[in-house]
């Protein structure tokens, strides 16, 4: 079969036209993006950012949590989430995950809470989330704010509410690997918080330039310690075109996701791997299709078969607690056994809007051939 890329953004002439409008016509699409995201997510306020990490950095900087405070978060996530915590002078306290959904385990979360916990940071994975009603009950009981890492979750919902809008705040990503891509970019979602100006000013290098741009002040000045994290005009131009066709992108990705599930369901009955598990309270955004193998050896056999045929399939997060940085925080391998087991057996299949049923059928056949040798 032809070589199949793991990911390929769904770009076409729309993005080119928007770039022309921005570069040659001076059209600024940032407010267009913010307005679209506000309508689509239902967030009280949306601030476009340079990426999800910038949104996380701004949140922890604006909240001014006491130095040394703890942030409960899963070890199964990308380092940028933990970097935002550490760079704010806080300590990540890693929790285990649910084996099936790969999101934070609620029981482990409660065990890890202490008087030093200043924030709970769930990570929504592959269209799945925690039981957010139960999480918000914990938040209310302990008086701890919730920041949702919804970097993978644009277009995913919990009981009809967009992920990232249920806690106090959340972050989205529009990296090139995401469903909707500005070849970068992200958004900070604020859900009723009263420190809007602080977030905007931090992202504008600590100045009140956003107020100046709105004509609210005659000149902008340095008001607080900040960092550059606002979305660029180039990113917004590309992202605005992507958002216009998000329904088509979602439809195409759903076809691919469903074809994988149908094509591999019988084979999953062999017990060699498990298919993705999306809780009934979630609406899938079809971002990732992953297989959970019983062990690393089985995963590597299938990955090798796919690679030999020119099909890109990858593992995902290496658990943060088992990294060298995790060791410096006092963690060791074996501390979070479910996370370690899940990560060692995870394989993500190609998933993007350019794939067709023939591509998926060929990949499923390759997997079946490899499984026969496991």
Distance CA 100, CA 77 (A): 16
- Domain segments of the chain as ranges: 13-244, 246-371
On the CB side of 369, how many CA atoms lie within 13 Å of its CA? 12
Q: What is the pTM of this model?
A: 0.95
What ranges make up the beta strands (E) of 130-254? 147-149, 157-158, 161-162, 169-173, 186-190
Which residues of the chain carry a pLDDT beneath 70?
1, 194-195
CATH 3.30.1180.20, domain 13-244, yes or no? no
CA gap 77, 137 in Å, rounded:
23
* DSSP at 181: -
Q: Where are the alpha helices (DSSP H) in 269-336?
A: 296-308, 324-328
| Distance in angstroms (rounded) separating the CA atoms of residues 109 and 98 | 11
Angle at 85 between CA 58 and CA 284, to 5 degrees: 80
pLDDT per position as a tens digit, 5-24: 999 999 999 999 999 999 99
SS3 149: strand
Rg (CA), the chain: 21
Residue 333: count of CB within 10 angstroms of its CB: 12
Look at residue 280 in the predicted model and tell me its pLDDT. Answer: 97
Task: Let me know the angle formed at the C-alpha of 230 by 201 and 14, rounded to the nearest 5 degrees.
Answer: 145
No. of helices (H) and no. of strands (E), the chain: 14, 13
For 110-124, how does the pLDDT look when each residue is reduced to its tens digit (9 = 90+)? 999 999 999 999 999
- With residues binned 3-state (H G I as helix, E B as strand, rest as coil), the percentages for the chain, rounded to 5, are 40, 15, 40
CB 51 within 8 A of CB 236: no
- Cα separation, 121 vs 119, whole angstroms: 6
Q: How far is CA 66 from CA 61, 71, 94, 109, in A?
A: 11, 11, 19, 21
**Does domain 246-371 sit in CATH 3.50.50.60?**
no
Q: Is the dihedral of CA 280, 103, 125, 135 positive or negative?
A: positive
């Amino acid at each position: 079969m032809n070589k199949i890329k793991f990911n390929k953004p769904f770009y076409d002439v729309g993005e080119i036209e928007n770039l022309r409008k921005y570069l040659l016509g001076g059209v600024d699409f940032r407010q267009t993006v913010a307005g679209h995201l506000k309508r689509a997510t239902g967030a009280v306020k949306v601030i476009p950012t340079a990426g999800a990490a910038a949104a996380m950095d701004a949140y922890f900087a604006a909240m001014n949590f006491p130095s040394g405070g703890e942030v409960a978060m899963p070890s199964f996530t990308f380092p940028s989430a933990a970097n935002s915590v550490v760079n704010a002078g806080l300590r990540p306290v890693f929790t285990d995950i649910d084996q099936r959904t790969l999101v934070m385990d609620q029981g482990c979360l409660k065990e890890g809470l202490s008087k030093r916990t200043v924030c709970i940071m769930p990570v929504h994975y592959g269209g799945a989330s925690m039981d957010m009603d139960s999480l918000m009950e914990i938040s209310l009981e302990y008086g701890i704010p919730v920041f949702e890492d919804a970097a993978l979750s644009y277009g995913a919902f919990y009981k009809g509410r967009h992920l990232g809008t249920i806690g106090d705040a959340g972050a989205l990503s529009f990296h090139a690997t995401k469903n909707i891509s500005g070849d970068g970019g992200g958004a900070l979602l604020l859900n009723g918080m009263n420190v809007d100006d602080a977030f905007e000013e931090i992202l504008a290098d600590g100045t009140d330039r956003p107020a100046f741009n709105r004509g609210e002040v005659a000149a902008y000045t340095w008001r607080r310690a900040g960092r550059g994290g606002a979305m660029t005009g180039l990113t917004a131009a590309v992202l605005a075109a992507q958002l216009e066709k998000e329904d088509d992108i979602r439809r195409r990705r759903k076809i691919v996701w469903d074809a994988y599930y149908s094509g591999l369901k019988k084979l999953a009955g062999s017990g060699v791997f498990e298919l993705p598990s999306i809780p009934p309270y979630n609406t899938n955004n079809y971002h990732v299709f992953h297989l959970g193998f019983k062990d690393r050896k089985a995963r590597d056999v299938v990955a090798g078969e796919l690679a030999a045929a020119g099909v890109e399939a990858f593992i995902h997060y290496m658990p943060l607690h088992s990294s060298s940085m995790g060791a410096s925080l006092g963690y060791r391998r074996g501390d979070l056994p479910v996370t370690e087991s899940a990560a060692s057996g995870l394989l993500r299949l190609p998933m993007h809007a350019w794939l067709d049923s023939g591509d998926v059928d060929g990949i499923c056949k390759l997997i079946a051939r490899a499984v026969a040798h496991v």
